């Protein structure tokens, strides 16, 4: 019985040592400008996400990368509150500028006056090509 308790404790420590980290890349070239939100409030194991981070004025060229992370301290607070309050760190990296010359082999022109059916067909085609080639596919409206 004592060995089971020790094993459970060691397993809990090992599991708590791992930190959650997710990265979203948009394809833009990253700049040196970042927006950081430490201890962004999330609730119920992250089911209720933090409020939006306003990036339009800070990143006029768009967002290149978004990193979300649960550090050891974030996870500790989540464990103490039984997951009711789960803070996280968010880092947004602004883009260096939009490129007007997108790769033609990875671009689908939808058109400015496209119907909802045309937009859906373009999105379906982009999803299939992206999955097949393991590369992003850009939609131009």
What per-residue confidence (pLDDT) applies to 14?
A: 60
Asked if 104 contacts 65 with a C-beta cutoff of 8 angstroms, the reply is: no
Residue that wins the pLDDT comparison between 60 and 8: 60
- Which range marks the domain in which residue 30 is found? 19-95
Give how many domains the chain has, as a whole number: 2
Same domain, 51 and 73: yes
- How do residues 22-46 score in pLDDT, each as one tens digit? 888 888 888 888 999 989 888 988 7
Residue that wins the pLDDT comparison between 101 and 20: 20
Same domain, 53 and 84: yes
What per-residue confidence (pLDDT) applies to 60?
A: 83
Same domain, 113 and 85: no
Task: Please determine, for residue 53, whether its predicted confidence score (pLDDT) is greater than 80.
Answer: no
Q: Which of 79, 87, 60 has its CA nearest to residue 15?
A: 79
Tell me whether residue 126 is in a domain: yes
Tell me whether residue 64 is in a domain: yes
CB-based contacts of 62: which residues, under 8 Å, 6+ apart?
26, 28, 94, 95, 98
Tell me whether residue 119 is in a domain: yes
Tell me whether residue 55 is in a domain: yes
Same domain, 78 and 25: yes
Same domain, 35 and 80: yes
What per-residue confidence (pLDDT) applies to 56?
A: 77
- How do residues 67-112 score in pLDDT, each as one tens digit? 999 888 888 888 899 989 989 999 999 988 755 556 667 788 888 7
Tell me whether residue 13 is in a domain: no
Residue that wins the pLDDT comparison between 66 and 15: 66
What per-residue confidence (pLDDT) applies to 80?
A: 92
What per-residue confidence (pLDDT) applies to 115?
A: 87
CB-based contacts of 106: which residues, under 8 Å, 6+ apart?
129, 133, 135, 136, 137, 138
Same domain, 108 and 91: no
**What is the average pLDDT across 7-35?**
77
Same domain, 75 and 113: no
Same domain, 58 and 33: yes
Same domain, 83 and 115: no
């Amino acid at each position: 019985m004592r060995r089971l308790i020790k094993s459970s404790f060691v397993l809990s420590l090992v599991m708590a040592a791992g930190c959650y980290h997710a990265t979203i890349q948009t394809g833009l070239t990253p700049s040196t400008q970042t927006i950081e939100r430490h201890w962004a409030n999330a609730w119920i194991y992250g089911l209720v996400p933090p409020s939006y981070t306003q990036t339009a004025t800070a990143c006029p060229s768009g967002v290149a990368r978004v990193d979300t992370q649960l550090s050891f301290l974030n996870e500790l607070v989540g464990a103490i509150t039984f997951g009711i309050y789960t803070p996280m760190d968010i880092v947004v990296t602004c883009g260096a500028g939009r490129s007007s010359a997108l790769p033609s082999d990875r671009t689908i022109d939808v058109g400015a006056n496209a119907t909802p059916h045309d937009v859906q067909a373009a999105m379906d085609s982009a999803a299939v090509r992206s999955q097949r080639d393991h590369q992003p596919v850009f939609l131009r409206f």
